[in-house]
Structure 1
Amino acid sequence: MKGCVGKLGTKQTRYTEECKSMIVDLYHTGKTPSEIMSEYGLGKTALYKWVQERKEISVEQETLTAMDVRKLKIRIRELEEENDILKKAMTIFAKK
């Protein structure tokens, strides 16, 4: 498929999220891993990592991928940090 060329970095090729998803779709439609790896210059580890990250997980009538879960965990951590900061600020302002 045209338009899915990685950006050359210093040591390795970088692929967009759109490109990674398209490659995973090819994997799921039956294209062999060896064909995909040779056509897009991928290593075995990268291909299977992308497939695993985009594996769907059903949670209470909602479908998420492993990547979505990872992003949600990061966001939860960020919000918890923000809450801690706000709690500390409230303590400081309550003393005044």
Structure 2
Amino acid sequence: MGKVVSKSFNDDFKRTVVELYHLGTSVKNLSSEYGVSEVSIYKWIKRSSPMNLEDGSTVTPDDYAKLQKQLRRLQEENEILKKAMAIFAKK
């Protein structure tokens, strides 16, 4: 049985492959030329495709995930600050 080898590609490489796709190169050709699975390329395309928001602006799924993570972190910090304020208000 063959070993499954996982390759890691940097963001610049991924953006380049997605740009080439948008310029008309087929996923099949990109896959064979750069040694990346077609499934990976389709994932990169999906992640970089903008989503339309209600206010008319757009955001990519990756940016949206980053914003959600930042929101959760800020909510946690806010809860910590509220607890600290309650403690100091008692003193």
TM range (shorter): 0.7 to 0.9
Length-normalised TM-score, structure 1: 0.80
| Residue 16 (str. 1) matches residue 19 (str. 2) | no
Q: Which residue identity lines up with residue 18 of structure 2 in the other structure? A: V
**Alignment map for 1:32-71 (pairs within 5 Å):** 32-59=26-53, 60-71=55-66
**Unmatched runs of 5 consecutive residues or more in structure 1:** 1-10
Q: Normalized per residue, which structure has more strand?
A: 1
In 1, Cα distance between equivalents of 2:38 and 2:77: 39
In 2, Cα distance between equivalents of 1:42 and 1:32: 13
Aligned CA-pair RMSD: 1.3
Residue 81 of structure 1: aligned partner: 76
Deviation at 1:65, TM superposition (A): 1.0
Aligned counterpart for 1:92 among listed residues 65, 84, 87: 87
Question: Aligned pairs, how many?
Answer: 86
**Unmatched runs of 5 consecutive residues or more in structure 2:** none
Deviation at 1:51, TM superposition (A): 0.6
